[in-house]
Amino acid sequence: MQDLESRVAVIQERAGRAEELLAESAVTVADEDEIVTVTVNAGGTLTGLRFSPQARGLSGTGLADLVLETYRSALEESGRRTTEIMSTLLGADSEAMSVITGFAAPRTEP
């Protein structure tokens, strides 16, 4: 029984640490020319968007495309970080981790 309690305590400690790391793992990415900068949280939600003065020189479509491209890059980085954090909790080879990896994998559709 003590062994079980000990394992539960370790899992709870790891879960708490993973929760802290996820809460602190916002990702900020800028495009190559630093015209667009986006920030996403661990869940991939857009939490920040900034434009440099150079953005005024782009067409609406060009700016929209640049925002989407930069957002996708931030999502990929966020997915990598989330995967790293969760693998310490669940184990890199666990079935639960394979589900998370499937959701965190970069998407190829536009």
User: DSSP letter string over 24-72?
Assistant: T--EEEE-TTSSEEEEE-TT--EEEEEE-GGGGGS-HHHHHHHHHHHHH
As a whole-number percent, the residues of the chain with pLDDT over 70 amount to 89
Q: What's the mean pLDDT in 19-31?
A: 88
Residue 103 is predicted with a pLDDT of 65
- Running DSSP on this structure, what letter comes out for residue 110? -
Closest CA to 27 of 90, 84, 65: 84
Question: What confidence score (pLDDT) does residue 104 get?
Answer: 60
Asked whether the beta carbons of 66 and 36 are under 8 A apart, the reply is yes
Would you identify the CATH topology of the domain 2-104? Ybab; Chain: A; (3.30.1310)
pLDDT at 88: 76
CB 36 within 8 A of CB 55: yes
Looking at residue 60, its pLDDT comes to 95
For the chain, domain boundaries: 2-104
pLDDT in tens, 61-98: 999 999 999 999 999 999 888 888 888 777 777 776 77
C-alpha span between 75 and 97 (Å, rounded): 18
Residue 109 predicted with pLDDT over 70 = no
**Per-residue pLDDT for 110 more than 70?**
no
